[in-house]
Structures are given as structure tokens and as C-alpha cells.
Amino acid sequence: MPRLQPPLTHPRETAATAVPAAFARRTAVVTGAAGFIGSHLCERLLDLGAEVVGVDNLLTGRLDNLSHLRSVGGFRFQTDDVTRPFTVAGPVDFVFHLASPASPLDYARHPLATLKVGAMGTLNALELADAKHARFLLASTSEVYGDPLVHPQPEQYWGNVNPVGPRSVYDEAKRYAEALTSCFQRSGGTRTRIVRIFNTYGPRMRADDGRAVPAFIQQALAGEPITVAGDGSQTRSLCFVADTVAGLLAAATAEHADPVNLGNPHEITMLQLAEEIRAMTGSASAITFVPLPADDPKRRCPDITAARAHLGWEPTTHLRDGLRQTLDWAQQHFPRQASATTGRSAS
């Protein structure tokens, strides 16, 4: 059985600890800026001295995620639906395309919007990068691998995806977005990068987005049953948001143009995760089991050989440390009432 992530035994300088000077006095556009990862990316870019234009239609993002940045010099926000052509004023050096519903509950609520942002949204973001002669980074997902038959998943694996299942609106939108991004790269007009983000967690996750970490924390804090899908033996590999953001920055500045996995290679079962969160909260919540969602991956773990070799990146945050930071934030921001979410162990 997988166990909790051990401390790293080979610490070295990575993109998470090196300061990428490439962003100082540069302008970056971040679509999906009001989302969980997008807001952390905006914050880090500003820390590095970049000018940041955050773009979001607020379908699933929240302005609260950016409230501490609204008065920061160098940051501006514009409400735009990237599925329609859009532009930003002035020069642009980087376009980070993160816009998309990203949790199973969200893309089940907004299936057409999910398909549109993966298709038309990606095209419009690419055309913005092309017009501005900017480098483009697509935030893709481990969901392109589907319910994988290869473990861990290397970038060369083409996946095991149900193209008409309930998760297909997200899976296939991201697969198409990768194809479109690769087409722009091959055409020679736009410098593009593709990162496949595995399960990421941390402060600013919504309590009601249905993913395992916020759902388990919300249920434990509320004293409600912690609901684990299936028998809890399915695994995920959880990467703290600061590490994921460091990987995005490293990928955006690297010369490696092929897709690259960003994630933590240490697996944990969903039952173990539920037990760990219950222990950390001191909750008396019972752990109960609910049906496994259709097409839910049984194992999910990245091969990060390429990220180590080409980006100089690997995660450095121990799972318990990341969960503690997430829990500390949740105790201040999550509602203390019965949760309507379940621990869907999805990415």
C-alpha cells in the first residue's frame, strides 16, 4: 500500500528555490487568474517583478482569490470570456492559459463551457500570444491519460480515455487544447509550452469543488462523515500549489517544447488521505464510502523524469506540511456546517 510521502533525501536547487529573473519587468497574461492555481501564479509573478494582467469570466473563479492583489502595483484585472476573441493593452511577454473548470463537479455543471474554453478559449489565447509575439504556456492535465494502463504515467503515454463518458468534456477539451497548441508550435509562429498538471492542493481551494482534499477537510471540520469514493484504494499523487507554480514558471522559461508532467511522484490512497486529514483536524468524523464515479482513475502518479531533466524542477513540500498550510487556511475560510460535497478523488 502506498504510504505518506517521505522527506526528500536528495535536496538540491530547483525552480522552486531559484529566482527566475526572466520575469522581472516583463508582462504576463494569466487566463483563469481568479481560480485556485491562477491566483497563486499571479501572486508569484508579481513577487518576481512582473507586470500581470489577470483575465477571468468568474464562472468558477472568485475575485476573493485576488483581493490582496487588486491594490498591488503592476497588477490589473479584466473580466473577459476567453471563448470570445479578446486582447489586452500594451506589450505581452508570456501568456499562461489556465482558464477552465477544473474539478469534476464544476465541469459536470458546465460541460459546454468546459469544451468551449478548451477549444475556442485556447485558440483565442494562442492568437493573443501570436499577435503579441509572446511565449505561450498551456496548463493541461493528467486527465489526458484517462484511467491509465501504464504506471507511473510518462509523457509518451497516449492515455486510456473514454471520449463519450461523463468526464470526457474535460479530458477531450484538454487533449484538443494540446493538439491546437502543438499545431501553433509546429507552424513556427508561436513559442509554446505544455504542462500536464497532476493533483494540486493548497490554500484557496473551494470547499464545494468536490475534490478530495477540500472535501475531506470541510467534512472533518464540520464533524460530518468523511465520504471516500469506492473502497478508498485508488491513489493520487498530491503536489502543493507553490511547487506546481514553480513548475509552471520553470516550464515557461525552459527551452523544452514537448509536454511535461508536473506533479508529486509519491502516491497516497484516498483512504489514507482521509485518515490523515481526520487525524490532523482532531475530528471524530466517521469515514464512510460512496459509489466510485464513472471512469474515475484507479491510480494516478506522474513520471517526472522530464521535469527534473529539462526544467530542473521537482516538488519540495512534504505532504503533511502542505496539508497543514491548507488546513490552517481552511479553518479561517471554510464554512462550519454540513458539507454537500463528497470526497471525489479526482484531479
Q: Which residues are catalytic?
A: 170
What separation in angstroms does the CA of 146 have from each of 142, 261, 292? Answer: 8, 14, 15
The packing angle between helices 122-132 and 168-187, to 10°, is 20
Q: What does the alpha-carbon distance between residue 194 and residue 139 come to, in Å, rounded to a whole number?
A: 6
140 forms beta bridges with 196
Q: What does the alpha-carbon distance between residue 273 and residue 261 come to, in Å, rounded to a whole number?
A: 22
Q: What does the alpha-carbon distance between residue 227 and residue 274 come to, in Å, rounded to a whole number?
A: 8
